[in-house]
Amino acid sequence: MLKYLRLLLLPLNLVYALVIFVRNQLYDWGIFKSTSFDMPVICIGNLAVGGSGKTPTTEYLVRLLQNYKVAILSRGYGRVTKGFILADEHASAQTIGDEPLQYYRKFKNVTVAVCEDRVTGINQLKDAHEVILLDDAYQHRKVKAGFNILLFEFDKLRGWQMLLPAGNLRETFSGIKRAQTVIITKSPPVVEQYLRQGFLKKLKLTANQNLAFSHIGYQNLQSLYSQEQLALQKNQVVFLITGIANPLPLRQYLATKEVILHHFEYSDHHRFTEQEIKALVKAFEEHPAGEKIIVTTEKDGQRLLDAKLKDLLLNLPVYYLPINIEINAAERAKFDQKILDYVASAK
């Protein structure tokens, strides 16, 4: 059914492509204004909609730049508020979005802010910070970031991709030219040379553009409501609840642990309802297994901290699975140094 729907939408792709082409040309020609800043501004984004690893990549940069005063600026997707907001102890997924809330809870020495107008947001932050990270702002061309990191998923990049609305690309591959570094995420820890050459040919990178590969590093389970950690056990019954764009890598990881999986799957950034959580709790409590847990992602966990949902789950074993991205060993030193050199020179 989805295949036929995509075919019906193909004529609209021509309209969308023309609009995106004209918009980008107007920025390239300087007719539409892009604002530059006299400080290091790093943009993390992608060409395709959906999860390509922007959040763990941003977290990787926070750790790499730990000696600088860093601010993360996001649009705050899914929030019910408007304008510029600084994250504080009163912040929730509803007021700033799930990903910014995750950054705020995780990094105590980093400022987290949301603003749909990135120029306004940077102006609010620039005087008190040394580096600003723009989360998911590759198409926000009102800001001319000094350094652009563009992400592609390994498996999706190997296939054929189309523009919206029939496909999942926000803009054509010509947009790659704005990136200083391209990261192929969710890759194997070691990428064969023929695959690397194939990606280089497809992306048509210049000599000044860097290519790196990253893979997911899964950590121990962390209790959503305490400091307890837990390791997965073989034949453990896992009730998985997700609202992310691509849960397949997570399912594949859990399969390697040989757990018995029951998946409650929702769309990306889904705002869980009380009825949905009650259904999860009912299924969990009715299952006869003695060793059973509820597992979610770190991003989804931010939405499960909502007071009403937390009351339904508080006495149950609910854990989230933290992840890191790990730049593959062959490219890690070069990738890190390019970021550090940019920040030092721009500062």
Question: What average pLDDT does the segment 178-203 reach?
Answer: 95
SS3 43: strand
CA 112 to chain centre: 15
Q: How far apart are CA 135 and CA 137, in angstroms?
A: 6
* 167 — pLDDT class (breaks 50, 70, 90): confident
Question: What average pLDDT does the segment 189-212 reach?
Answer: 94
Considering only the top CATH level, what class is 32-217+326-346? alpha beta
Q: Which region holds residue 104: left if phi is over 0, alpha if psi is between -120 and 50, else beta?
A: alpha
The larger pLDDT score, comparing residue 165 to residue 271, is at 271
Nearest to 47 by CA among 207, 155, 204, 179: 179
Q: How far apart are CA 260 and CA 287, in angstroms?
A: 12
Contacts of 177 (CB under 8 A, 6+ apart): 206
Position 168 scores a pLDDT of 87
Given a cut of 70, whether residue 2 has pLDDT beyond it is no
Nearest to 168 by CA among 245, 271, 270: 245
Given a cut of 60, whether residue 3 has pLDDT beyond it is no
Nearest to 206 by CA among 169, 176, 173: 176
Position 160 scores a pLDDT of 82
CA 261 to chain centre: 24
Condensed to tens digits (0 to 9), the pLDDT of residues 227-281 reads 999 999 999 999 999 999 999 999 999 999 999 999 999 999 999 999 999 999 9
Backbone phi, psi, residue 275, to 5°: -65, -40
H or E element in which residue 327 lies: strand 323-327
Considering only the top CATH level, what class is 220-321? alpha beta
SS3 325: strand
DSSP 231-251: ---TT-EEEEEE-SS--HHHH
* 14 — pLDDT class (breaks 50, 70, 90): confident
* Pair 143, 35: CB distance under 8 Å: yes
Residues spanned by CATH 3.40.50.300 within the chain? 32-217+326-346
Position 10 scores a pLDDT of 72
User: By 3-state DSSP, what share of the chain in percent is helix, strand and coil, each rounded to 5?
Assistant: 40, 25, 35
Question: What average pLDDT does the segment 57-82 reach?
Answer: 97
SS3 87: coil
Contacts of 311 (CB under 8 A, 6+ apart): none
Say what percent of the chain tops pLDDT 90.
Answer: 89
DSSP 2-18: HHHHHHHHHHHHHHHHH
Position 6 scores a pLDDT of 64
Partner residues linked to 152 by β-bridges: 184
Residue 307 burial (C-beta neighbours within 10 Å; 0-12, 13-18, 19+)? exposed
Position 159 scores a pLDDT of 85
* 165 — pLDDT class (breaks 50, 70, 90): confident
Position 1 scores a pLDDT of 58
Q: How far apart are CA 270 and CA 244, in angstroms?
A: 8
Position 36 scores a pLDDT of 97
Residues spanned by CATH 3.40.50.2300 within the chain? 220-321
Enter the tokens of residue 218: 């899964």
* 11 — pLDDT class (breaks 50, 70, 90): confident
- pTM for this entry: 0.93
Condensed to tens digits (0 to 9), the pLDDT of residues 24-37 reads 999 999 999 999 99
- Average pLDDT of the chain is 94
Say what percent of the chain tops pLDDT 70.
Answer: 97
